[in-house]
């Protein structure tokens, strides 16, 4: 069953107690808790923002604790580079919450894997500056 984060309207984490205590003051937290507690496993579909997990996803994960534990997760990432770095960060976050993650993942490239990508053709590619090999020259000269 798809769970769209936006539907829950979670503000920046505003519970007074850490989620590990399992004591929730706010109705939005209880609704989110009931939803996640009802699943045996998850497939996270996530973009990558600045080489990591988008803030709202991390925030939503941080809201809960026991609800995530001892479950399994897989990943579908989408980004300019397949969101592989975001998924790697997500694996570390979920390990802290005792979620077992499968090793395989779907890595979608927004420039080549989306039928609605515009404009078509070579213009889909990211600028050359983002494809160049890493260089330290600007910091060492």
The residues of the shown chain that bind ligand FMN, judged by CB under 6 A, are: 47-51, 78-81, 83, 110
Q: Which residue is nearest to ligand FMN (CB)?
A: 79
Packing angle between helix 84-96 and helix 55-62, nearest 10 degrees?
Answer: 10
Cβ proximity to ligand FMN: between 13 and 45 the closer is 45
Plot region of 3 (φ>0 → left; ψ -120 to 50 → alpha; else → beta): beta
Least gap, CB of 84 to ligand FMN (angstroms): 8
Provide CB contacts within 8 A for 121, sequence distance 6+. none
Cβ proximity to ligand FMN: between 17 and 51 the closer is 51
CA pseudo-torsion sign 133, 89, 12, 8: positive
Least gap, CB of 4 to ligand FMN (angstroms): 11
Provide CB contacts within 8 A for 63, sequence distance 6+. 10, 13, 15, 19, 29, 32, 33
Helix (H, G, I), strand (E, B) or coil at 5: helix
Cβ proximity to ligand FMN: between 47 and 74 the closer is 47
Least gap, CB of 37 to ligand FMN (angstroms): 25
Cβ proximity to ligand FMN: between 123 and 140 the closer is 123
């Amino acid at each position: 069953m798809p769970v769209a984060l936006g539907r829950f309207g979670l503000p920046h984490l505003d519970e007074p107690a850490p989620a590990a205590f399992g004591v929730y003051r706010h109705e939005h937290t209880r609704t989110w808790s009931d939803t996640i507690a009802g699943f045996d496993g998850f497939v996270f579909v996530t973009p990558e923002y600045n080489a990591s997990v988008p803030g709202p996803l991390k925030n939503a994960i941080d809201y809960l604790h026991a609800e995530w534990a001892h479950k399994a997760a897989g990943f579908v990432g989408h980004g300019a580079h397949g969101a592989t770095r975001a998924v790697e960060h997500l694996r570390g976050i979920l390990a802290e919450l005792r979620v077992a993650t499968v090793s395989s993942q779907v890595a979608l490239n927004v420039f080549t894997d989306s039928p609605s990508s515009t404009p078509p053709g070579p213009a889909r590619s990211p600028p050359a500056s983002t494809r160049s090999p890493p260089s330290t020259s600007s910091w060492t000269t």
